[in-house]
Amino acid sequence: MIDKRDLKGSIIHMQMPNIPFSAVSKFLLLRLAALPMVFAMFGGHGAWGMEGTSPKIWLNHFKLGTLADARDEDWPVTREGVDTAFFGINTLWPLKFPSSLSISPKDAAATAAKLHANGIRIGVECAYFDHRVRIVEPGNPASPVVPEHGIPVLEPGIGEHTARAEIAKLSSIWQAGHPPDFIMMDDPMRRLTVPGQDSLGQLFTGMADYPTAAREVVAYMHTMRQQFPKVKFVTIINFPNWGWKGQPAFLVAPGRTTPLNWGDAYDAMETLFAAVKEAGLEIHAIQGDFPWRYYNQKPANAIAATIDWPQRLLSLERYARDKGVGFNLVVNSETGYLSAEAFAKDTLQYLDAYLADGGRPDHFVVQSWYPHPEQLLPESEPDACAWLCARFIERLRAIHAGSPPKPSTPQPTPLDRAEPEALLHILEFLDPPTHQRLAPQVSERWLTHREDPPVALAAEELMGLRTAVSQAAAGKPRATVVIGDQELRPARGLKPLPLPVAGQTAKWLVEVASTASASKLLTVWVDGSTSKSMNPVWVARGMSSLLAVEVDPALVKDGAVTLCIGETGTIPQKVAIAVGDPVIKVVH
């Protein structure tokens, strides 16, 4: 049932059982955090309503190190309007082998010194519990740190270990006399309970309950506070990917099997705040990560379409106020894939829209993990981050001075009809009697009529289909493959599939997740199979599609079954899925 703890009108009321389902929609996207560019802008804490005070912004960019040699004339408006500048933790590693984004210790120290000299505070976005690293010299707070492959073991002690590793990563600035003023914990409860979501195909489980995870966050905070006695903590939450007070998430990522996706953010936050308070610590602010599309575009998924998403975001701000902490809002846009101009247009539009809807965040956060804008300086260049900073500062000042913010109307989106069609196809394969019972009504309402069915009814029917598929798929072997621009591989962390019983055809599910930059129309089949190929499936970056396939025991060769995946009319790529043996072989 939907939880009605939120304000009236925030949802379209409907009966929705809280039971598992399978995610197959071509619109199910997954945020990829480990991409090259990030910057943030914030309005000054408490600035709304303070006469004579102009809101300031907070800034973070992966090329923040270029400020080390910047001239004052390169960023006049930005320099005056920035309250705090943020480093990304992984640009400051004291690595044995620095990455292309690493800021040298010399430049990091010079940048930190310049920020403080200009009255600008320093922050760091970090708390990456699910990033596996080794501290080379335990006991040395400035030890070199070595990144390792895979997800770390998430058990008691991971909080302190992560903090000590990140203190070492920050050594280039604190050893120069510039410790961080803010530690921004990047969705800490998610990283501990649903780790590995920065990369597709990493289907891992984390800590089993929120109290255990919260204790590790507290241990992290204690360790950071011991090193930096005056530091303040902000907790970031990637809000569309979480459920809230029993209501569904906007997205369901590959491998997740609940309408709450990563879980219920309300329960996670309640647990975290209780643990932090009991430990004698405090959270300075909640930061909502909520890109423009989720605010201004109605979901194509019928279940997510039952939610008023602007109201969902405003409810998070109300929650922060109830807790007596600040509220920061990320305002960014996926048009960062296209150009700095498109990204800036959406970002500024988002600023106006949220204020017009009654939001009053303490900090505006414009954060991009997209290719644009590529550079930080100079402010005079429209493609630079500092140019957008200047426009953002000017608009905040104008609104603060009385210019009314401009409202925005959410863009309508037709309901996704590919999902019910795919669900019916899988259900026919796995459970013919149930398919025969549900197919006529679903086909009539979803596939025959051009007009969308009423949202509440569509959501209820879609949930019923997902439930039927989930029940039919329970216990069935599943192969998950990840396709990219240059690779095709099995997903990491999966167990080998069981050997088909001699003389019987095995029924498998195949999940295709894409990291490719372009959309693809693919066909998937088992190499050597005489049965017809499966229907073509459309995939795009961050998308997962579920298909069904029959496997003859005779097709198992050298401990593997080979899947063929190719675009229509092209030579397929082949990937071998281990059967009864952990060794994975890739056929080129």
pLDDT 10s per residue in the chain (588 long)? 333 333 333 333 333 333 233 333 322 222 223 333 334 444 444 445 444 456 788 888 888 999 999 999 999 999 998 888 889 999 987 666 677 788 999 999 999 999 999 999 999 999 999 988 999 999 999 998 988 877 788 999 999 999 999 999 999 999 999 999 999 999 999 999 988 765 544 445 688 899 999 999 999 999 999 999 999 999 999 999 899 999 989 876 544 557 888 899 999 999 999 999 999 999 999 999 999 989 998 877 788 888 999 999 999 999 999 999 999 898 888 888 889 999 999 999 999 999 999 999 988 887 777 788 899 999 999 999 899 999 999 999 999 999 999 998 877 777 767 677 777 877 887 888 988 888 887 777 776 766 777 777 777 777 778 778 777 777 777 777 877 767 777 765 556 677 777 777 777 777 777 766 666 677 788 888 766 555 566 665 555 667 777 788 888 888 888 888 887 677 888 888 888 643 333 333
Tell me the CATH number of domain 476-588, given options 1.20.1070, 2.60.40, 2.40.70, 1.10.3470.
Answer: 2.60.40
Alpha-carbon distances, residue 24 vs 146, 204, 452, 512 (angstroms): 37, 19, 19, 10
Q: CATH 3.20.20.70 residue ranges in the chain?
A: 57-400
Contacts of 570 (CB under 8 A, 6+ apart): none
DSSP letter string over 245-266? TTBPPS---TT--STTBT-BHH
**Strands 544-551 and 506-514: what pairing?**
antiparallel
Residue 65 sits at the vertex; the CA angle it makes with 186 and 92, to the nearest 5 degrees, is 45
Task: Using the structure block, give the residue that is written with the tokens 């001239």.
Answer: 71
Measured distance CA(88)–CA(86) in Å, rounded = 7
Backbone angles phi, psi at 433, to 5 degrees: -60, -45
295, 308 contact by CB (below 8 A): no
Measured distance CA(14)–CA(536) in Å, rounded = 34
Query: Smallest Cα–Cα separation from 166: which of 219, 242, 244?
Result: 219
Tell me the CATH number of domain 57-400, given options 3.30.310.10, 3.20.20.70, 3.40.50.1220, 3.40.50.920.
Answer: 3.20.20.70
Measured distance CA(195)–CA(201) in Å, rounded = 12
Q: Where are the alpha helices (DSSP H) in 118-249?
A: 158-169, 171-174, 188-193, 210-227
DSSP letter string over 86-151? EEEGGGS---SS--TTPPPHHHHHHHHHHHHHTT-EEEEEE--TTS-EEESSTT-TT--EEE-SSP
Q: What is the pLDDT of residue 426?
A: 79
Task: Using the structure block, give the residue that is written with the tokens 């300086």.
Answer: 377
Residue type, 262: W
Q: What is the pLDDT of residue 226?
A: 98
The tokens for 135 are 């501290």
Q: CATH 2.60.40 residue ranges in the chain?
A: 476-588
Torsion of CA 75, 77, 82, 85, to 10 degrees: -20
Query: Smallest Cα–Cα separation from 307: which of 245, 361, 255?
Result: 245
Most distant CA pair in the chain, distance: 82
Measured distance CA(240)–CA(237) in Å, rounded = 9
Measured distance CA(210)–CA(550) in Å, rounded = 39
Q: What is the pLDDT of residue 324?
A: 97
481, 549 contact by CB (below 8 A): no
Strand partners, 489: 482
508, 549 contact by CB (below 8 A): yes
362, 352 contact by CB (below 8 A): no
Measured distance CA(8)–CA(241) in Å, rounded = 22
308, 299 contact by CB (below 8 A): no
Alpha-carbon distances, residue 473 vs 116, 252, 477, 524 (angstroms): 57, 17, 8, 19
